[in-house]
Structure 1
């Protein structure tokens, strides 16, 4: 029967000691380990790339704290299901309180589940604002302990009110040594060995994703079930092709987006389209690409062609509405438009120059003539005195009087 269960599920860690990686969170001095051991859980967002243990960690937290565990995927879950789970969690608390009143002298078994409900939401960034809003009251009053998992920056993808009620924990891409441990567990489960060159190739191709390692091992096992040792050729066949190396949080991610932006800045249409294709093919979020195009339209095109911002915003909106893969065409058209537009960084440069003065001089006194004067006292102090709506005089603080940022 186990053969029908994915290998990644069969070797999933069941406690903190079996968990591999994320020592800063679950090591002996890790903050999450301390919260679990002291039973001081908080709602949280687990942010990190795929295959680093977000789901496993959520399950372990529930097990270690004897909590009821409910798992949802934001891709397939609607508001009705969320409300139903919250209602059941509230009923569980009420029932526990009633039982406690009836039998205050009866000692509960150590392994009995608490009334706490841990609601794990995978890919929480895929919930829209209304869906995320639904969590707020129950997270606020403790009806549920929310654990959201996301591969996207929660600052952009999780609404502010919910983010302020959760602690964000960053999970790092797994190191090769950590993937090695997980690989060995998978091989033991499959009752297989692997050649050194095959293992090196597998671990280097996994992009720090433990699920990739286990999935490829499982495919390799099914390709040649009778073979006891997995060799390089089998691993290469299991991979089908060497994956594009594109770590969404690593150097190559930033190298590629940098090349993309610089190609548009140089009006090099062909290069910009090539780097766009690389990002899309490697699985980059289209909204991330479109967001960079919106920034580029103001930063690099600016006043030379202000309608570029309108076009870039419409590309972003199209990616939101249509989604992958069709939005590739919207991105491509937008890239060509931005490449062929005239460039002017004067507004951006002016802002950066002003920002430099703010950082250097701090909050310099605002001239009295343009201060707000809603009270008699302020008027008596000459706030707003002599204000001319269309004055040609410099309105900068005295220390910066006459300075020109926009040129």
Structure 2
């Protein structure tokens, strides 16, 4: 099943789909490769976005002796052997270590790379789908460049599918392209693998086109999403049901989306947004639970992650609701756009004699506005008397009594947000 992926793997920069910001003409990484000046780097991005393919370009365009490792399987002992070899031959040849899933090495183990990088024994390129600022130790981060890869767009995936169809001589209808590009969620490897499976089914049926009937054979009657409008309709109903505190309706639309083949990661992301947008400070634990659910979805996967989603949906549906944080940042951004020329007050600047009053020298609080003089009467955040936010309301009204007149606002203006 990996044959087509290998055939489609880019051989030149022109073959690359997406990643123009780092591999387009004149972009940093492309210039480094073309000039055969490779730096130690961490490639960071989602699965199937081109990290390994870029490594192949480096292999093609440069004269480094490349050693591949995978952090999930390689041992520190294996790595050390190559590091020692690199040290011995550094005056003779250029060595490059490519460590896929480098985050699998814990932060202490990652220290083995430091001396060699520092001494110029070799170039290290690590690849990871995890946030390097969390998973890579600080000493190593300070010695490498972070290269961020973007998730491929639907258009990028369609481009790859059309290249695949030229090779396999099995075309796709528009709705088949829509299906594959949607369920692959920006993962080129997944998309091509799925195309190969669908091509196999089409050939078995004596067809040279992947159409609706082939998709039904693959995933079952009505188990795929062709209708983009229905995708957004279900997502909208799902979010509005949670916002409206109706767990039964929310669970129903959750089930509908899953039955239609929706990516559970999309659902998890929407729950994280909703936790801040609609629940916010009325129950700050909502964001923690939504973020934990997103992790569980990635870690567990289907079908079991449905249980994690169900628990989260019930919690968010029954949590107290407040959109005060959403309204607050909306108001603040509106004013920020209009007041870009206003200077930061002198007493907030970082130099001796600015007049800054250190709150800890005065019991932890000084009743003095930190806004520029021109905006001193502005209030962006109006807490609500709902859930845990009721206590926040009491705190800000007590702290800022006489400076900020919360009492003058009888009703907070809320914006309506369409999903």
TM-score by length of structure 2 reads 0.63
Matched, 1:206 2:184: no
Query: In the alignment, which residue of structure 1 is the partner of 2:55?
Result: 58
Q: Deviations over 1:223-255 (max 9, x none)?
A: 577887524467436633477559xxx999999
Q: Is residue 44–residue 167 contact of structure 1 (8 Å, CA) maintained in 2?
A: yes
Q: Is residue 36–residue 61 contact of structure 2 (8 Å, CA) maintained in 1?
A: no
Distance 2:133 2:251 in 1: 26
Distance 1:294 1:23 in 2: 27
Query: In the alignment, which residue of structure 2 is the partner of 1:170?
Result: 149
What is the deviation of 1:181? 1.9
Query: In the alignment, which residue of structure 1 is the partner of 2:288?
Result: 313
Q: Deviations over 1:151-170 (max 9, x none)?
A: x6x47765584666323243
Q: Is residue 43–residue 139 contact of structure 1 (8 Å, CA) maintained in 2?
A: no
Query: In the alignment, which residue of structure 2 is the partner of 1:90?
Result: 83
Q: Which runs of 5+ in 1 are unaligned?
A: 101-113, 188-192
Change in Cα spacing, 1:333 to 1:201, as seen in structure 2 (3 Å) is closer
Distance 1:229 1:401 in 2: 71
Secondary structure in structure 2 of the residue aligned to 1:90: helix
Q: Is residue 5–residue 192 contact of structure 2 (8 Å, CA) maintained in 1?
A: no
Q: Deviations over 1:238-278 (max 9, x none)?
A: 633477559xxx99999987765444333243454355453
Query: In the alignment, which residue of structure 2 is the partner of 1:236?
Result: 215
Query: In the alignment, which residue of structure 2 is the partner of 1:106?
Result: none
What is the deviation of 1:41? 1.5
Matched, 1:282 2:262: yes
Distance 2:371 2:84 in 1: 61
What is the deviation of 1:60? 2.9
Give the root-mean-square deviation of aligned CA atoms: 4.9
In terms of mean alpha carbon deviation, does 231-240 or 53-62 score higher? 231-240
Distance 1:315 1:93 in 2: 46
Distance 2:18 2:356 in 1: 60
Query: In the alignment, which residue of structure 2 is the partner of 1:121?
Result: 100
Distance 1:222 1:18 in 2: 29
Q: Is residue 216–residue 223 contact of structure 2 (8 Å, CA) maintained in 1?
A: no
Secondary structure in structure 2 of the residue aligned to 1:56: helix
Q: Which runs of 5+ in 2 are unaligned?
A: 383-405, 407-419
Query: In the alignment, which residue of structure 2 is the partner of 1:182?
Result: 164
Change in Cα spacing, 1:362 to 1:274, as seen in structure 2 (3 Å) is farther
Q: Deviations over 1:127-171 (max 9, x none)?
A: 476378557626853544214153x6x477655846663232435
TM-score by length of structure 1 reads 0.65
Q: Is residue 202–residue 214 contact of structure 2 (8 Å, CA) maintained in 1?
A: no
Q: Deviations over 1:19-39 (max 9, x none)?
A: 342372545555443321211
What is the deviation of 1:221? 5.9
